[in-house]
Structures are given as C-alpha cells and as structure tokens.
Chain A
Amino acid sequence: MSAPGPNGSAPRPSGPDTTGWELPMSRAMRADGAPATLEDYVAAGGYEGLRRALAEFKPEDVTKAVRDSGLRGRGGAGYSTGGKWSTMPLGPDAPHPKYVVCNGDEMEPGSFKDRYLLSRNPHLLIEGMLCAAWAVQADAGYIFLRAQYDEPYANVERALAEAAAAGYLGEHILGSDFSFELFLHESVGRYICGEASAMLNALESQRPNPRARPPHMTGAGLYARPTVVNNVETFCAVPSIVRNGVEWWKGLSTTAEGGTKIYGVAGRVQRPGCVELPMGTTIRELIEVHAGGMQPGYELRAVSPGGASTAFVPAGEIDVAMDFSAMARVQSRMGTGTLVVLDDHTCPVGMTLNMLQFFAQESCGWCTPCREGLQWTAHLLREIEEGRGTLEDLDVLAEHVWFMGSDKTFCDLAPGAMQPLEAVLRLFRDDFVAHIETGSCPYAPRETEEPAATADEADR
C-alpha cells in the first residue's frame, strides 16, 4: 500500500452546504422507523455524492478522497478503504469485468449495525456502492446478504428497483458514460461466508472455504476478476465524503480517525439500540447516555465491544474512546462497534462458552488448529462451567490462545475466537477458580424476565 497523500481534496471555488450533515448516515432516516424511500433520500441530499463523483471526479480522485479521509473498514478489520481501492487495476489495460461486492453477512454474535442501516437507509448503501464502482471502474456488483435478513432484503430489493427506475443504476447512469449493474444475493447460510474470500466462493456457489492469499481479491477476486469487497457501513460512509469533502469528514469525529460511526448497545441496559455518533465516542457515553444506563439491579462488569471476536473491556476501562487505535490500548478492538454488556448476574465463563461453541460450530473445518482446537476449548469451558474443571484446564486454555493466534490458522476465525477467551482468562480468573473449587457455577440460572423496550419502540 502506498503512503497516504496530503490531506484535502482538490480546492473548489465554493464548497457544498454542509449544514445539517453532522450525522450523514442517518440523515435520510424516517422518524417512523420505516425505510427511507427514494423520495426521502433525495430530499435529504441523497445521490448528490454520486452526481458530484460523476460530474467532477476522475475515478482515481474518488479513491484518493476516500483514502485521505482515513476511512477504515467498518466490518471490523479496519483496513484503509481507499488503500484497498487503490490496488484495483485501472485504465485501458485493466481486466474486465471488475466487481464491487458488499459484505452484508452480518452473522457474528453481538453485531447488529448493518441490519439497522439496511432497514432504515437502503439507498445510502446503493449510492456508496455506486461511488465505489465509479472509483474502481467496476462493471457489476453484488450485495451479499445473510440468510434471515428477510426484511432488510425486501428493503434493498425495493430500493434497487427505485434506483434503477430513476436512472441511478444500469446503462449510462445520470446521462454519463458510466454503466453499472447491481444484484442482490441472499446467502444460504453459515458464518464463514462473512470472511471476504469465502464470500466470493459463496457467490460463485463454491463451498465457502476461505481462499489462500495472495492473490489479493483486488487482483483476482470474484470469478478471478479484480474485486473490491467492503462492509455495508463502509460503503454507507462514502457518499458524504464525496459530497462534502475530506476535511469536513475529518471534522465530524472526536478523535483523529474522522467521521461518524454506527454504534450499538445491547444487554441489560435501559434503551438498547443503534445510534450514529462521532467516531471516538466513549463506551461510557454509549452505555450511560445513549442506552440510558444499566437496568435497575444490574451492575456493569465488562463490555464485549464489537462482536464475539473482540476482547472484553472491563468496567474500569470504559472511558476509552471507541475507535480503532484507542481500543488497542485497552487490549481489545473496536470490531463492529456494537457492544453487548456483561452484567453482574451473568456468568463470564458461561458467556465465553457460548461464544466458543458458536465458533467451534461455524469453523469451516479446512485447517486443523481451528477445526480441532475450537472444539477442545469449548469442551474445556463446558467442563469448567458445569463444575468438572481443574486448575490445569486454565493452562490448557491459555496454551490454546497461543496455539490459535494470528498467522497460525488459515483465516481469522480462530484467532478472533481466542480474543474473548484471552480476555476472560485475564479479567475473570477468580470466576474460573470459583467454578473449579466449588464444583459448580456460582451464578443463578438465567430466567426470562420482561425485556426492556428497544430504542426504536421508545422513540415511537
């Protein structure tokens, strides 16, 4: 990857009006919770990013703006979006067709932000993919949605039809010489399809094992053609960067990373839900202000900050800013930025067991450490949770954290699974010892109680 260029896009005589654009991804969302229609979306400045890109930007200038904005992959990995796009071959000798693929396989436990965007603002995704397609000169795109997203699927399907009828998709978009086709694809299931290269296999109806890299997908991706794969929210961030410029985007955040983020809070809080906020909002503010604090009778012990593959952050560290670099300082990752609280009535061993059972079940089975190791860690956690564990088991678990670390497995599934395990061993050793010494789980069985209203309902 080449070094980022100087900040700021090309100077313009007069900038666009950015009044009221502080929360660009939720700008067009309707108060009644229904998906924004084309009319809603255009009235809120929708497709102005695309218009500007086609009228004023050369393809490589869109990539440059996105790279200079500092936008990093919102699926959790945090790779530079513009950096990825800049490795796509451009120019008359580039192979065609080229593809843009949206990763909408939101299946990692504790991730629920893409559903929010797809349910409330489907045109934003389409416009973001169009901007990306212009930037890399793609011919076609796929929106890969997980199974069970029936409602988001219907919303996107409707939005695609509206966009095509209005001339935003298809041949000669908005009268330009740019043409782009966009297809919606519904997955037949399994978490591994969310791994970008496995997703391409799934789109080709191959068995969705991850692919070896190199070659990188931007060189040989879908059907061995140059392909860009980005997360739903990543595409959704792009239109306003193109419309309003790099400096504007950078100014939206409270930290150096720029822009806004769809955050979420779930678990025993008063008002669970998703909300767009400046990048770098603290975990404390998310829980205490936006989610209304913990439910009465529940104390916060830790937070799973962005999906089951992110390390728990203890209650004492929640003043950390939720961005990619600050989260590393508390030995975790932002991941998807949708956090789930661990309350004091819930067993941390049991919660981690639940996560490891998920990863063991969803391993594609391709490489040995993941296929065998995840089963074994889940087994040991179950032994401890049910009172049959030994102190030696803790050493074996710690060994597996090393054994399935980064670069020891074919893809990131098992290393991701080890992150909550590493954290729970570090933060909650006393809980493990109590299980082992008393021969049982010290937490009461969880009972179903009247759940809290969701933020959506509370808004109505």
Chain B
Amino acid sequence: MSLTDEERRELEELLPHYPDRRAAADSALRALQRRRRWLSDESLADLGGFLGMSVAELDSLATFANMLFRQPVGRHVVLLCDSFACWSLGYDGLRAEVEAQLGVGMGGTTPDGRFTLLPIVCLGACDRGPAMMVDADLHGPVAAADVGEILKEYA
C-alpha cells in the first residue's frame, strides 16, 4: 500500500503549520488514522516515506499516544469516561449497560465491526457526567436507559 493522491494532498496541507516535516508527524499520524481508521505497519511505512522518518520513530510516537490506534477498531469508537467525577455519578452502571448492549468488554470490538469500546480519562465534561463520546460526539449526562437510543444513531 502507498499513500493515495488524496491522502498525500491532505498531508501536504499540514506541512506549512510546522517548521519541518518531522514536526508534523503527530498531526500526520492523526490525519492518516482518520482516513484509514487505524495505523497498520504499512500505514507507518507509508508515512515514514513521506516524512523522512523510520517506522520505529513513528511507532514510538504512536504507542505513547492514547488516541493513535495500532490495532483495528470498529467503524465507531465509544469512549467511556472513567475519571472520578463520572465515577461518582454512575460510571459503573453505565459501563455495565454499554458492555451488555454491545456484547463486548472494555477494549473489545463488536463482531460486526460496528463499535469499539475504550476507556478514556476525564472528557472535561464533569458537569455532564456520566459522560461518553461516540466518535466526535459528546453525550452526557447519560442514564443507562439512554444507551440504546444513543448507539442506534451510529450505523
């Protein structure tokens, strides 16, 4: 696999934000992940060629960051806030409900490839706890009874 013309164009647009190609690596990893959903070894090699970096250098960044995925994820990523405000507002019950509805535990992907469920630290939405995100959408406060309706929006 190599970068498509469209991918290359998007990456080129990032470069003027940074003084050199190497400094654009985090943003480039994120941009490529948006298009390919997760970062395979091949994706890192493609990006390494573009940025003039080794796969190992890119991997050291990708494995440190919590929002760069080195394993396949579903079409939609569910992030459940597990920090102390949401915890005190009913995280345990919400987590049990989400896991039951998806049929997978934390870190799991549904067999149909629709959802991946991941833990996330505080979403900065303590006043809306218990909070969760699905893709770019923040939901909160989420009662266990609302979970089904929310998940239905993501095909």
Measured between C-beta atoms, what is the minimum distance from B75 to chain A in Å?
Answer: 17
- Contact of B22 (CB < 8 Å), options: A106, A189, A205: A205
**Are B26 and A452 in contact, CB atoms less than 8 angstroms apart?**
no
In angstroms, Cα B19 to Cα A455, docked, is 43
Does B102 make an interface contact (CB < 8 A)?
A: no
Measured between C-beta atoms, what is the minimum distance from A62 to chain B in Å?
Answer: 26
| Binding stretch for chain B, among A1-9, A122-130, A148-156, A319-327 | A148-156
Does A70 make an interface contact (CB < 8 A)?
A: no
Measured between C-beta atoms, what is the minimum distance from B127 to chain A in Å?
Answer: 4
**Are B27 and A207 in contact, CB atoms less than 8 angstroms apart?**
no
**Are A207 and B60 in contact, CB atoms less than 8 angstroms apart?**
yes
**Are B121 and A205 in contact, CB atoms less than 8 angstroms apart?**
no
Does B91 make an interface contact (CB < 8 A)?
A: yes
**Are B130 and A451 in contact, CB atoms less than 8 angstroms apart?**
yes
Which residues of chain A come closer than 8 Å to B89, judged between CB atoms? Answer: 267-268, 451
**Are B85 and A451 in contact, CB atoms less than 8 angstroms apart?**
no
Does A227 make an interface contact (CB < 8 A)?
A: no
Among B29, B67, B92, B124, which residue has the most Cβ atoms of chain A within 10 A?
B124
- Contact of A454 (CB < 8 Å), options: B29, B93, B128: B128
Q: How many residues of B contact A (CB 8 A)?
A: 52
**Are A449 and B90 in contact, CB atoms less than 8 angstroms apart?**
yes
Q: Quick one: CB contact mask for B137-152 with A, threshold 8 Å, 1 for yes?
A: 1101111100000000
In angstroms, Cα B73 to Cα A416, docked, is 34
Measured between C-beta atoms, what is the minimum distance from B130 to chain A in Å?
Answer: 7
Measured between C-beta atoms, what is the minimum distance from B132 to chain A in Å?
Answer: 11
Measured between C-beta atoms, what is the minimum distance from A227 to chain B in Å?
Answer: 13
Measured between C-beta atoms, what is the minimum distance from B112 to chain A in Å?
Answer: 25
Q: Which of B89-129 contact A (CB under 8 A)?
A: 89-94, 97, 120-129
Does A343 make an interface contact (CB < 8 A)?
A: yes
Residue of chain A at shortest CB distance from B144: A448
**Are A183 and B30 in contact, CB atoms less than 8 angstroms apart?**
no
Residue of chain A at shortest CB distance from B29: A188
| Binding stretch for chain B, among A82-90, A111-119, A248-256, A392-400 | A111-119
**Are B23 and A446 in contact, CB atoms less than 8 angstroms apart?**
no
Which residues of chain A come closer than 8 Å to B83, judged between CB atoms? Answer: 109-110, 308, 354, 358
Residue of chain A at shortest CB distance from B122: A109
Which residues of chain B come closer than 8 Å to A157, judged between CB atoms? Answer: none
Which residues of chain B come closer than 8 Å to A421, judged between CB atoms? Answer: none
In angstroms, Cα B140 to Cα A186, docked, is 23
Does B88 make an interface contact (CB < 8 A)?
A: yes
Among A148, A149, A304, which residue has the most Cβ atoms of chain B within 10 A?
A148
Does B65 make an interface contact (CB < 8 A)?
A: yes
Measured between C-beta atoms, what is the minimum distance from B114 to chain A in Å?
Answer: 20
Does A80 make an interface contact (CB < 8 A)?
A: no
Does B87 make an interface contact (CB < 8 A)?
A: yes
In angstroms, Cα B125 to Cα A110, docked, is 8
Does A445 make an interface contact (CB < 8 A)?
A: yes
**Are A183 and B141 in contact, CB atoms less than 8 angstroms apart?**
no
Measured between C-beta atoms, what is the minimum distance from B49 to chain A in Å?
Answer: 16
Given contacts A185-B17, A189-B68, A338-B126, whether A452 and B141 have CB atoms under 8 Å apart is: yes
- Contact of B93 (CB < 8 Å), options: A205, A208, A448, A455: A448
**Are A190 and B88 in contact, CB atoms less than 8 angstroms apart?**
no
Residue of chain B at shortest CB distance from A190: B66
In angstroms, Cα B25 to Cα A308, docked, is 31
Among B65, B89, B94, B143, which residue has the most Cβ atoms of chain A within 10 A?
B89
In angstroms, Cα B126 to Cα A418, docked, is 21
Which residues of chain A come closer than 8 Å to B3, judged between CB atoms? Answer: none
Q: Which of A163-189 contact B (CB under 8 A)?
A: 183, 185-189
**Are A274 and B27 in contact, CB atoms less than 8 angstroms apart?**
no
Measured between C-beta atoms, what is the minimum distance from A416 to chain B in Å?
Answer: 14
Residue of chain A at shortest CB distance from B127: A272
Does A223 make an interface contact (CB < 8 A)?
A: yes
Does B154 make an interface contact (CB < 8 A)?
A: no
**Are A446 and B124 in contact, CB atoms less than 8 angstroms apart?**
no
Q: Which of B55-98 contact A (CB under 8 A)?
A: 60-61, 64-68, 79, 82-85, 87-94, 97
In angstroms, Cα B140 to Cα A151, docked, is 14
Q: Which of A255-282 contact B (CB under 8 A)?
A: 264-268, 272-274
**Are A266 and B129 in contact, CB atoms less than 8 angstroms apart?**
yes
Residue of chain A at shortest CB distance from B88: A346
In angstroms, Cα B24 to Cα A151, docked, is 22
Does A355 make an interface contact (CB < 8 A)?
A: yes
Does A41 make an interface contact (CB < 8 A)?
A: no
**Are B92 and A445 in contact, CB atoms less than 8 angstroms apart?**
yes
Which residues of chain A come closer than 8 Å to B25, judged between CB atoms? Answer: 205
**Are A109 and B143 in contact, CB atoms less than 8 angstroms apart?**
no
List A residues at the B interface (Cβ < 8 Å).
Answer: 106-112, 114-115, 146-151, 183, 185-191, 202-205, 207-208, 223, 264-268, 272-274, 304, 308, 338, 340, 342-343, 346, 350-351, 354-355, 358, 361-362, 445-452, 454-455
List 9 tightest A-B contacts by C-beta distance, closest first: A448-B93, A451-B141, A109-B83, A448-B90, A266-B126, A150-B136, A205-B25, A188-B65, A189-B67
Known: A185-B17, A189-B65, A454-B141. 7 other contacts (CB 8 A): A115-B125, A151-B138, A191-B121, A273-B127, A308-B84, A342-B88, A446-B90
Q: Could you give 7 example pairs across A and B, Cβ below 8 Å?
A: A107-B122, A109-B121, A148-B133, A207-B61, A361-B121, A451-B143, A455-B127
